Amino acid sequence: MTPPEAPVTDPQGRGAGSAPAVSVYPETAPVPRIEVLRKRADFLRAAAALRQGTPGFLLQARARRPEETALPGLVRVGFTCSKKVGNSVLRNRARRRLREIARLVLTGLAQPGWDYVLVGRPEATISRDFAALQADLARALRDVHSGRAQQARPRTEPAKGRRRGKG
């Protein structure tokens, strides 16, 4: 039995006479660059701005001031899950799900110059259907940018770090 013959290819590995594989996308709006929030102060500023609740998570959002925006077209996003969500395995699973829906949805609906924080909800973030979580984020972003989101509750005192034994 003789093996079948390999197709004839050129040095780039394409078949003889075939066109190069090139993807052509129509000219659309530029996709915003997404950066992850890491500093506590950024999370606190987002918590003091707009909020929109969904069955799967809470979205906190704020428009950065012009002097805060380092790069035009930059969207910043943060993720947090408290111990109410569960043990570390459950919190990490919830954060992974939030990161993935942010990656899928924010590229199309986020506005440059905004900070977003997704806060996981106990049981709901982990058990909610993934497509429903994506729909929740899309609806929450539309509500935030249309002005239907709630303002954060005013604090009676300024936000402080963890202070033990000090009055």
Residues 40 and 122: their CA atoms lie apart, in Å, by 22
Residues 160 and 140: their CA atoms lie apart, in Å, by 28
Q: Kindly list the domain boundaries of the chain, sorted by start residue.
A: 35-150
150 band by pLDDT with thresholds 50, 70 and 90: confident
pLDDT digits (tens, 9 = 90+) for 36-56: 999 999 999 999 999 999 999
CATH ID of 35-150, from 3.40.47.10, 3.40.50.410, 3.30.230.10, 3.40.1280.10:
3.30.230.10
122 band by pLDDT with thresholds 50, 70 and 90: very high
What was the pLDDT predicted at 96? 96
Lowest mean pLDDT among 36-40, 65-69, 141-145: 65-69
Quote the percentage of the chain above a pLDDT of 90: 55
What was the pLDDT predicted at 100? 95
129 or 70, higher pLDDT: 129
CB 32 within 8 A of CB 110: yes
Q: Which tokens sit at 98?
A: 């939030």
What was the pLDDT predicted at 50? 92
pLDDT digits (tens, 9 = 90+) for 1-29: 666 776 666 666 666 666 655 555 555 56
**CB under 8 A, 24+ apart: contacts of 78-83:** 78/36, 78/37, 78/38, 78/42, 78/43, 78/46, 78/115, 78/116, 78/117, 78/118, 79/36, 79/117, 79/118, 79/120, 80/43, 80/117, 80/118, 80/119, 80/120, 81/119, 81/120, 81/125, 82/119, 82/120
Residues 78 and 61: their CA atoms lie apart, in Å, by 10
